[in-house]
Amino acid sequence: MNYTLKNESIVAYNESSEFEFPKYTSQLINWTNQNAQGTRPVVVGQMSELFPEFVATGEEITIENWRKWYTERFPDAFDKATDKIFAQVQNLRNAIPLIDREMVMHWVEDLVINKTFNGMYVQKAILASLAEKKGTTFRLATPAEESIGIDGYVGDTPYSVKPDTYKTMGRLSETIDVKMIYYTKTKTGLKIEVEE
């Protein structure tokens, strides 16, 4: 038998409750918390470890017992998390009046044009940065060079620029007989591995 169990049913079966937030407020607090990092394990503990620890105590598993067990171990966690998040809410309150339609238009254009371009087209930036490190020039490949797997040259050396996932793709039929540059996208930029 296959079926789904909705969140509200889980709440009902567990005989717990959830706070009812006005429209959009929970989304805003959640987004604010992502910036403030108020509920990170360093602030409130690692729930994936704490809850099983609570269950293993042998106490009756109720929401009241969980609350008591948790707050005995982390008595200041709610205040610390709230302070971090609320400070970020204040920052939002200050920023929201600055947002007008024109700014939203700039944001959309920046996302669609600039961030897409810079996120999807990394070859030029990688080749330029490598050339700078080597104290030489670079150029992008011609269509004929691209057809044989070359993405560009740093000095006189041809390179192919690929995401790191390319290494694990055993099904590739192409053989690229040039030096490889592999990159990994991270939250803050790119990790680059250059074959020497």
What are the pLDDT tens digits along the chain (196 aa)?
A: 677 777 888 788 888 878 888 899 989 999 999 999 999 999 999 999 999 999 999 899 999 999 999 999 999 999 999 999 999 999 999 999 999 999 999 999 998 888 778 766 788 989 999 999 999 999 999 989 988 889 999 999 999 998 888 877 654 445 667 899 888 888 788 888 998 8
Model pLDDT, residue 169: 63
Q: What is the C-alpha to C-alpha distance for residues 116 and 108, in angstroms, rounded to an integer? A: 11
The crossing angle, in degrees rounded to 10, of helices 77-95 and 63-73 is 90
Q: What is the per-residue pLDDT for 171?
A: 46
State both tokens at 110: 């920046």
State residue 170's pLDDT score: 56
d(CA 38, CA 41) in angstroms, rounded, equals 9
Token digits of residue 169: 């793709």
Count Cβ atoms within 10 A of the Cβ of residue 190 and give its class: 0-12 exposed, 13-18 middle, 19 or more buried.
middle
Token pair 């200050």: residue: 94
Across the chain, where does the E strand assignment appear?
A: 138-140, 152-154, 157-163, 179-185, 190-194
C-alpha span between 121 and 129 (Å, rounded): 14
- Which residues, 6+ apart, have CB-to-CB distance to 137 below 8 Å? 131, 154, 155
Return d(Cα 106, Cα 62) in angstroms, integer: 50
Backbone angles phi, psi at 5, to 5 degrees: -125, 115
Summarize the chain as % helix, strand, coil (round to 5): 55, 15, 35
Q: What is the pTM of this model?
A: 0.61
Determine the Cα–Cα distance for residues 102 and 170; give it in Å rounded to an integer. 48
- Give 158's contacts (C-beta < 8 A, 6+ positions apart): 141, 145, 150, 152, 178, 179
Whether 162 contacts 182, CB under 8 Å: yes
